[in-house]
Amino acid sequence: MPTDESVYSYSAVLMGSPILLKLFSDNPALASRVFGLIKQYEDLFTVNRAESQVMDINHAAGVRPVVVSRAVYQLIKCAKAASILPGSAFNLAIGPLVKRWRIGFKGDSVPPEAEITSLLAITQPQDVVLDDAQLSVFLTHKGMEIDLGAIAKGYIADRVRDLLRREGVTEGLINLGGNVQTLGTPQGHWSIGLKKPFSDADVLVGAMEVSHKSVVTSGTYERYFEQDGRRYHHILNPQTGYPLDNELDSVTIISTDSLDGDIWTTLIYGAGIEKGCQMLKGRDDIEAIFVTKAREVVLSSQRQFRFTLLDDSYRLIDRTA
């Protein structure tokens, strides 16, 4: 890792997350362009405010198609493709359930089962109708809502990387609160921490050495509430409408594009370790790190990164064939 003297760090709070940019020359003007770009995309994609292009689509559900910008259209098209994969745990139309559960927001509680069942009917990804020629999106039923929360940060991290590259930056890092995208190989590699679930933010289970790669983590510990001794976290099972329930505390994906990382963390989180590792066979560019409730760290493979375990209460399992 570079010495602290040579790293210039810039931070902001955007998309409800702390954002960190690291550069190797002092360039506040570039940092403010980066934060401006993130904000522009946030303004297009957010569903946490009344107004955005995605909210325009949601407000017109069951009424009419809405023409959107190319970025919004492309991201929705990509999210729909991931959602209609057979058995996919990813669902861009999960919005009504996310809004009803309010996990991580004030007033979160377990909704009545009958409500969850009726909301499932308006979360079908096939009912998101796209028109490539018009760049329009139509939600065919009233009450439908697109939610890009599982994918937007990945897309934006890649656009920040592209901007930095265009500006001639050869080494840098952007962390959008769980989505890390890196440029270059400062003194050989970047070292990215893997968080210990349900611990203070700076407590790590291990660290990955990567270069020119994205590292994305989805964890049940990121947003959740507890009711009657049970924990309810923010990644929902599109089949049941309840939080995904399996052996995992977190999934991390190492990939070239952060967009892939963001989609695959959800896909793999839903699939679990066995099926997840099967799904990754033949995808040399995408690798997973699973952290289990039973205190194991399982690597699907270790081609694009090197992992170091830092917590000896965890057991490391490397499934590289």
Q: Please tell me the distance from the alpha carbon of residue 66 to that of residue 145, in angstroms, as a whole number.
A: 13
Q: Please tell me the distance from the alpha carbon of residue 276 to that of residue 152, in angstroms, as a whole number.
A: 22
- Does residue 244 bind Mg ion (CB under 5 A)? no
String of DSSP letters for 274-287 = HHHHHHHTT-TT-E
Per CB under 6 A, the list member of 46, 53, 91, 175 interacting with ligand AMP is 91
Identify what 241 binds: Mg ion, ligand AMP, none; CB under 5 to 8 Å per kind: none
Stretch that binds ligand AMP, among 20-28, 134-142, 143-151, 301-309 (CB under 6 A): 143-151
Q: Please tell me the distance from the alpha carbon of residue 116 to that of residue 12, in angstroms, as a whole number.
A: 36
Q: Please tell me the distance from the alpha carbon of residue 139 to that of residue 40, in angstroms, as a whole number.
A: 24
Strand partners, 219: 250
Stretch that binds Mg ion, among 94-102, 138-146, 237-245, 262-270 (CB under 5 A): 262-270
CA dihedral in degrees (40, 43, 44, 45; nearest 10)? 120
Contacts of 141 (CB under 8 A, 6+ apart): 61, 62, 121, 122, 127
- Does residue 155 bind ligand AMP (CB under 6 A)? no
- Judged by beta carbon, residue 182 or residue 218, the one nearer ligand AMP is 218
- Does residue 176 bind Mg ion (CB under 5 A)? no
Strand partners, 209: 191, 306
Count of positions on this chain that bind ligand AMP (CB under 6 A) = 17
Identify what 258 binds: Mg ion, ligand AMP, none; CB under 5 to 8 Å per kind: none
- Judged by beta carbon, residue 10 or residue 90, the one nearer ligand AMP is 90
Q: Which helix (H) or strand (E) holds 195?
A: strand 190-195
Q: What is the nearest approach in angstroms of Mg ion to the Cβ of residue 254? A: 14
Q: What is the nearest approach in angstroms of ligand AMP to the Cβ of residue 97? A: 8
Per CB under 6 A, the list member of 149, 172, 206, 276 interacting with ligand AMP is 149
Per CB under 5 A, the list member of 147, 158, 171, 262 interacting with Mg ion is 262
Other CB atoms within a 10 A radius of the CB of residue 201 amount to 9
- Does residue 147 bind ligand AMP (CB under 6 A)? yes
Q: What is the nearest approach in angstroms of ligand AMP to the Cβ of residue 244? A: 7
- Judged by beta carbon, residue 125 or residue 186, the one nearer Mg ion is 125
Contact 172, 22 (CB under 8 A): yes
- Does residue 236 bind ligand AMP (CB under 6 A)? yes
- Does residue 176 bind ligand AMP (CB under 6 A)? no
Of 81, 100, 102, residue with least CA distance to 90: 81
- Does residue 218 bind ligand AMP (CB under 6 A)? yes
Which residues between 260 and 319 bind ligand AMP (CB under 6 A)?
262, 265-266
Q: Please tell me the distance from the alpha carbon of residue 81 to that of residue 187, in angstroms, as a whole number.
A: 38
Q: Which helix (H) or strand (E) holds 2?
A: none
Q: Please tell me the distance from the alpha carbon of residue 221 to that of residue 205, in angstroms, as a whole number.
A: 14
Contacts with Mg ion, 136-155, as mask; x by CB under 5 A:
--------------x-----
- Does residue 94 bind ligand AMP (CB under 6 A)? yes
- Mutual angle of helices 152-166 and 258-280, in 10-degree steps: 120
Contact 91, 238 (CB under 8 A): yes
Query: Which residues in this chain contact Mg ion in the complex, by CB under 5 A?
Result: 150, 262, 265
Binding site for ligand AMP (CB under 6 A): 89-91, 94, 98, 147, 149-150, 178, 218, 234-236, 238, 262, 265-266
